[in-house]
Amino acid sequence: MMKLTSLRNRWTRFFARYSTQKEPRAQILLVGAGRMGQIRAKILHSNPRVDLCGVADTAGKGGHLASMYRIPEYQSLEEACENQARPLDAVVVCTPTHSHSEVILLAASYGLDTFVEKPVAESASAIEDLFESVSQVSHSTRPRPVALCCGFQRRFDPSYQAAMTSAAFGKPITARIFFGDHPVPPIEFLLTGGDIFMDLAAHDVDYITHVWKDDRVESVFAVASASSPQLAEAGVQNHATVLLQFEGGAVATLFLSRSSVYGYDQRCELFGTEGLVSIGNIPEHSTTIRNKKGSHGALWQHSFPQRFEHAFANELDAFVNTVLLDEPWPVSRDQCLYVQSIVDAAQRSAKLGEVVRLTAR
């Protein structure tokens, strides 16, 4: 009996010791319950280092996510921050771009780290002001300023990362990027939707300028077109081509379209003095059928939630590292401003029909 009691006590002390040494978990609130909010909620809920503490949506659309993940629903960020059993560490913002500034500044006032979908704001000057304001605020529980983290998911995708770490192409000569969006949006969305340069070009502009970080974009030329009289009359373009001229002589061409009928088409080729690096598409499955009519394979993945599923998860895991471990966010303030200046230049170029030169910062 004495031996049994002693063994029981030893096991009790063992479990007591290790049960108190739990890994820290980031207390994160989701702001925005739209399409991106639904994608982010699933990832946050499945991350073992995150407690998804609720969803706040000013339009009252968070009920579905609150029910699915058994989390509280709030009507505002203020309500969420004032009604937490444990202090929040951070917010993940998935609201329309025009609302980013208000949400980011409010989160900063509570000392919360913020992850926000690109772009941080609607203009380079607004982005600069936000980073400056946030840098002056201390984190609620850590001896550092609050972090403002902008999401550019190409950097976190395994295929794009493999190309980014490769030196196989040598000195850059040219890049060719193809962005075919799928499914084709309904006309109603296009008439009220975002700008094709802001929506589609920003991720690839960030990627190519990060890969070629030793060079700078000198000038931008862009053309855009509408595929129907209704879109043209409304001033909405759903196809565009952008040419980036770098100071070192390299050229990158981006083709953007809302009308890929065969699947989500994302391709990138980097050509240089030592070779070529290509990033291809990922099909829905790997089965190939061959018969008298030819070879038949799968469609490309349906859309961006499927194609960049792993990238989105990696991205938020990196954000958790910033929140819990104080690791610096890989996308800097200067890179956000740089990308926005290029996108702004593409918009102006398409409107004016001329080359736009970038002003050195």
DSSP string spanning 285-346? ----EEETTEEE-PPBPSSHHHHTHHHHHHHHHHHHHHHHH-PPPSS-HHHHHHHHHHHHHH
Higher-confidence position of 184 and 6: 184
Q: pLDDT digit string (tens) for 193-208?
A: 778 999 999 999 999 9
State in words which class domain 155-357 has: alpha beta
* pLDDT for residue 360: 63
Indicate the pairing of strand 50-56 with strand 73-74. parallel
Query: Minimum mean pLDDT among 83-87, 116-120, 186-190: which range?
Result: 186-190
Query: Minimum mean pLDDT among 139-148, 153-162, 346-355: which range?
Result: 139-148
Same fold, 24-151 and 155-357: no
Confidence of residue 190 (pLDDT cuts 50, 70, 90): confident
Name the strand (E) or helix (H) holding 177. strand 172-180
Higher-confidence position of 320 and 11: 320
Indicate the pairing of strand 26-31 with strand 265-272. unpaired
Asked whether the predicted pLDDT for residue 13 surpasses 70, the reply is no
Q: Calculate what percentage of the chain has a pLDDT beyond 90.
A: 80
Confidence of residue 138 (pLDDT cuts 50, 70, 90): confident
Q: Rounded mean pLDDT of 31-49?
A: 97
Q: Rounded mean pLDDT of 124-151?
A: 91
Residues 6+ positions from 325 with CB-CB distance below 8 Å: none
* pLDDT for residue 22: 72
Asked whether the predicted pLDDT for residue 221 surpasses 60, the reply is yes
Extents of the domains making up the chain: 24-151, 155-357
Asked whether the predicted pLDDT for residue 8 surpasses 60, the reply is no
- Average pLDDT value over all residues in the chain: 91
* pLDDT for residue 164: 83
CATH of 24-151, one of 2.60.120.260, 3.40.605.10, 1.10.443.10, 3.40.50.720: 3.40.50.720
Coil, strand or helix: which one is 276?
Answer: strand
Q: Rounded mean pLDDT of 81-91?
A: 93
Q: What is the pTM of this model?
A: 0.89
* pLDDT for residue 140: 73
Asked whether the predicted pLDDT for residue 236 surpasses 70, the reply is yes
